[in-house]
Structure 1
Amino acid sequence: MISRPLFYKSFIFIGLASLIFLFGFFPSLVQKYYSTGFYPYISSALRFISALFPFAIGDIIYALLICSVLYKIIRFYKRRKSLKKQDRIIIPLQILNFFLILYIVFKIVWGLNYSRPSISEELEIGNEKYNIKELVILGNYFVDKTNSLKLKQVKVPAYTIKDLESKSVAAYLLMAKRNKVFSYDNPCLKAVLNSWIISKIGIEGYYAPLTGEANMNMNLPDFVKPYVSCHEIAHQLGIAYEDEANLLGYLTASNSPDLNYQYSANYEMLRYILFEIRMKSPDDYKLLHDKLLPQVLADFKTEKEFWRKYNGDMFGYMDAAFDRFLKLNNQKKGIDSYQDIVIWLWNIYKSESQASESLTTRR
């Protein structure tokens, strides 16, 4: 006879998961009661607890979860022939309950942020799409800005994780004076336990929802690290989508008084913009590429060689696939594809340009 408590548990877990899932269809409620209500407290508490440990405990927890799942799969496979009839129902129910619990916990500690309204709305950044001419204007602006910052740069320090945490916290505190979206307490930035594996996978950093840790790949070139740290902290603040974390990371790092943070942010955004231009107008891409200072091109080369070192086969495949994509489509298909971060960068640029013109006119 099958245990009734197991059925009751499944019923309760399915009910809770369904309620959480349905709640996600109401972004304004998610924003009010979760993202700016319950979530800041639970995330701050998780960061406070995780910060007590000098290593990334999330990595250990996820490793244990994966090992546990693999163990149960292997155990089930070995016992499959000797299973009783009731086991054929009990085991699937146990598996269902396990994944339902994971889903519920994930949604409560962070995942519901996927259902909040876009952070661009909260920051009052427009969403107007650009044409190719406007994209090239944006590209020229970021090329000039990145070149200018590179000329001012003296030396990029060999960052430790503590350096990045303290400087990134300072940058967020500065931005929090402008908008509470950037408010950040109980900082918890960690180095991943195994940078080699993370580099092989091609990951710069990631957020661990169960522990509230922002994790950094410390193998990265030092000029990339400031922006990546600000990006991962954005995830801690409840910014779930990558493009939105890019936006918050850019705004924070680019407004930091630290020149290396400014360069890192603009360098990273230039990469996104040049990718878009290369896809939509290869001729303009070449002109912009030729405008870059040798020092900036050297950074591009350093980063390219870094990824080639760890995942050269995949890197080469992706590069070839992109070239193939351009040739097959006569370099025109994809003209209507947009990256959200580039859209927001264009709208920020346009808004600042209009404000500057208005000020000049009044004078």
Structure 2
Amino acid sequence: MIARLILIKLIVLLGLAFLIFFFGFFPTLVQKYYSTGFYPYISSALRFISSIFPFAVSDIIYALLIGFVLYKIVRFYKRRKSLKKQDRTLVPLQILNFFLILYIVFKLVWGLNYSRPSVSDELGIGNEKYNVKELVSLGEYFIKKTNALKVEQNKNVAYAITDLETNSAKAYDLMEKKNPLFAYQSPCLKSVLIPWMLSKAGIEGYYAPLSGEANMNMNLPDFVKPYVSCHEIAHQLGIAYEDEANLLGYLTASNSPDVNYQYSANYEMLRYILFEIRMKSPEDYKRLHDTLSPLVLADFKTEKEFWRKYNGEMFAYMDAAFDRFLKLNNQKKGIDSYQDIVIWLWNIHKNELKVKN
């Protein structure tokens, strides 16, 4: 009787999982009925509930899930010899059911956003490719802007998580006036319970689908926190891909009246641009690097030393694991997809640049 119930449950879960998976092949429908239909309500509700608690609920949830799985594994191992042959067959089915439930829940509370159309299209941002000369011109533009903003930046600001939540929500409210895509209800930005662990793993922050929280690594240098908070909030709004969250994070922070937010956004984008230039034209990279102000260079050094302090060899392993995760979620280029932001930055600013061909 028990075996039959487990088998029926498996069939039902497999059917639901297949329907959800199949639905993902229709981006327009996903956008209409999920990303701008069902998802905003479920995400807002999750954020409202999570905001009641002063700590990162997701850290507790994930710890309990991991503990539950480990408990089941140990329990099965201890009882394996006393279990009947039929019971041993049921265990794999129960495990499969458990992971099918996780898959369905993940897809319904956030994961289907991986199948929505690109937000760059929704924002009217082109995908025109740049040549090396244009890329260098973009780099010069961002260096000039970042150098200037660094002079204006309030260097004495030490952000608390409540400051970031309030200021970032205000920045999104301003952007909502330009495009409803930026609408952000029930703000919920949390500091992770163990920032040391995230720092060790090379993680700046993460979105927790099961709780709707945007979680920050508050060990980060203060000058990167405004942009990171805007990036993580973009995930809360249903922006699943990292490059697209970079785009919303940049647009939101750079258009904030807060100079620290502007600097944080331009500093982070400059990193991506310089990386791209370094790969395509090392000579230009060296020349541009020499034009960075000593203050901006000091921030690059501070951030580098921060990651070196925590990461060690762990960063390479986590980098490879995250690359694999991205590929499993349809980002075939893996971590290279981050560099799509440079294409969008070029298309956003190309009219401001004068490139002699």
Fold shared by both chains (TM-score > 0.5): yes
Partner Cα distance (1:13, 1:315) in 2: 36
Which residue in the other structure is 1:128 paired with?
Answer: 128
Confirm or deny: 8 A CA contact 2:227 2:249 kept in the other structure. Answer: yes
* Percentage identity across paired residues of the two chains: 79
Which residue in the other structure is 1:18 paired with?
Answer: 18
Structure 1, residues 251-283: CA drift from partner, whole Å, max 9, x if none?
000000000000000000000001111111111
Instruction: Tell me the SS of whatever aligns to 1:291.
Output: coil
Which residue in the other structure is 1:329 paired with?
Answer: none
Confirm or deny: 8 A CA contact 1:156 1:222 kept in the other structure. Answer: no
Partner Cα distance (2:58, 2:169) in 1: 21
Structure 1, residues 119-141: CA drift from partner, whole Å, max 9, x if none?
10100100111111111011001
Which residue in the other structure is 2:78 paired with?
Answer: 78
Change (3 A) 1:265 1:156: farther
Partner Cα distance (1:338, 1:135) in 2: 16
Partner Cα distance (1:352, 1:120) in 2: 19
> How much does 1:8 deviate?
1.0
Change (3 A) 1:213 1:317: closer
Q: Which amino acid in the other structure matches residue 48 of structure 2? A: F
5 Å-filtered alignment, 1:300-319, equals 300-314=300-314
Partner Cα distance (1:77, 1:158) in 2: 50
5 Å-filtered alignment, 1:1-363, equals 2-314=2-314, 339-353=339-353
Instruction: Tell me the SS of whatever aligns to 1:125.
Output: coil
Partner Cα distance (2:45, 2:131) in 1: 45
Change (3 A) 1:337 1:316: closer
**TM-score (structure 2 length as normaliser):** 0.91
After TM superposition, what 4+ stretches of structure 1 lie above 4 angstroms from structure 2? 314-318, 351-354
Confirm or deny: 8 A CA contact 2:137 2:353 kept in the other structure. Answer: no
**TM-score (structure 1 length as normaliser):** 0.90
Structure 1, residues 107-153: CA drift from partner, whole Å, max 9, x if none?
00000000000110100100111111111011001000100101112
Instruction: Tell me the SS of whatever aligns to 1:184.
Output: coil
Confirm or deny: 8 A CA contact 1:120 1:244 kept in the other structure. Answer: yes
Which residue in the other structure is 1:361 paired with?
Answer: none
Change (3 A) 1:156 1:274: farther
Partner Cα distance (1:146, 1:100) in 2: 47
Change (3 A) 1:317 1:302: farther
Partner Cα distance (1:33, 1:337) in 2: 26
Partner Cα distance (1:47, 1:192) in 2: 15
Confirm or deny: 8 A CA contact 2:10 2:97 kept in the other structure. Answer: yes
Structure 1, residues 198-249: CA drift from partner, whole Å, max 9, x if none?
1001100000000000000000000000000000000000000000000000
Instruction: Tell me the SS of whatever aligns to 1:223.
Output: helix
> How much does 1:84 deviate?
1.1
Unaligned runs of 5+ in 1: 319-335, 355-363
Change (3 A) 1:69 1:187: same
Partner Cα distance (1:146, 1:252) in 2: 16
Q: Which amino acid in the other structure matches residue 28 of structure 1? A: T
Q: Which amino acid in the other structure matches residue 114 of structure 1? A: Y
> How much does 1:301 deviate?
0.3
* CA root-mean-square deviation: 1.9
> How much does 1:81 deviate?
2.5
Confirm or deny: 8 A CA contact 1:59 1:193 kept in the other structure. Answer: yes
Partner Cα distance (2:314, 2:208) in 1: 25
Confirm or deny: 8 A CA contact 2:58 2:211 kept in the other structure. Answer: yes
Q: Which amino acid in the other structure matches residue 18 of structure 2? A: S
Q: Which amino acid in the other structure matches residue 311 of structure 1? A: N
Which structure has the larger Rg?
1
Confirm or deny: 8 A CA contact 1:156 1:260 kept in the other structure. Answer: no
Structure 1, residues 41-100: CA drift from partner, whole Å, max 9, x if none?
000000000000000011000000001111111222222223211112211110010000
